[in-house]
Amino acid sequence: MSVLDDFVGQCRALAHSPTAENEIAAATRDLITAPDAIKACAPSLNPTASSGGDEATIFEDDTLTVMVLATPPGIDQPPHDHEMSAIIGIYGGGEVHRFYRRVESEPAIVASGGKTIRAGETLTMGPTAIHAIAAEGDEVCYAVHTYLGRLSTVERSLFNPDTLLPEPMDLARYEQYCRPLAP
């Protein structure tokens, strides 16, 4: 059994716990201490497969989605939400997160800080989080993203990077909104 298979098994057992978010975050911290073992069993990812990189879903059911992602350097991805908690663990490179929030009196989202996580670090986001990502520096970022629900079927939002207005999530439009990082 691979480290990713073990991780999925752990997360499936933890997904129904009232403290699932914290327990899965701890399991993610343990997982990313072995980046070579993850790379050895993860599906082959091509970070130049699309402007947003490449991803593979390792597992998905109604309580859990586990994906591995390769984010290419030099690309700014658009703001989006997940409508569920997300735990991200980095096992190669770094991931720059820009956070946004909704303001009741405004139709557009507003910037509200950021955080960079690097290999060996994790980030937990609640179900109302809105973020945009980019790989840090000139390296591809390799990450495990775990969502507490079925990500492929939830109605979520993509935010136009020019207006910051919400639109329904559409993967083709997501790709169109990926842009080269500003110098």
pTM comes to 0.94
What the block records as the tokens of 122 is 């994790």
Contact 133, 52 (CB under 8 A): no
CATH of range 3-180; options 1.10.10.60, 2.60.120.10, 3.40.50.920, 3.30.70.100: 2.60.120.10
Contact 102, 80 (CB under 8 A): no
Over 80: is that where the pLDDT of 182 sits?
no
Over 80: is that where the pLDDT of 20 sits?
yes
Work out the widest C-alpha separation in the chain, in whole angstroms: 51
User: In the chain, what are the domain boundaries?
Assistant: 3-180
Over 90: is that where the pLDDT of 140 sits?
yes
- For residue 42, name the pLDDT band (cuts at 50, 70, 90): very high
Q: For helices 3-14 and 20-31, give the axis angle rounded to 10 degrees.
A: 170
Paired with 158 in beta bridges are: 80, 167
- For residue 139, name the pLDDT band (cuts at 50, 70, 90): very high
What would the mean pLDDT of 11-32 be, rounded to a whole number? Answer: 97
Contact 55, 68 (CB under 8 A): yes
CA distance 66 to 150: 9
pLDDT digits (tens, 9 = 90+) for 44-76: 999 888 888 999 999 999 999 999 999 999 999
What would the mean pLDDT of 7-30 be, rounded to a whole number? Answer: 97
Q: Which of 44-48, 114-118, 163-167, 179-183 has the lowest mean pLDDT?
A: 179-183
CA–chain centroid gap for 31, Å, is: 16
Q: What is the pLDDT of residue 73?
A: 95
DSSP code of 166? Answer: E
HEC secondary structure over 78-141: CCEECCCCEEEEEEECEEEEEEEECCCCCCCCEEEEEEEEECCCEEEECCCCEEEEEECCCCCE
- The SS3 of residue 162 is coil
Q: What is the pLDDT of residue 50?
A: 85
Q: What is the pLDDT of residue 52?
A: 87
Over 80: is that where the pLDDT of 100 sits?
yes
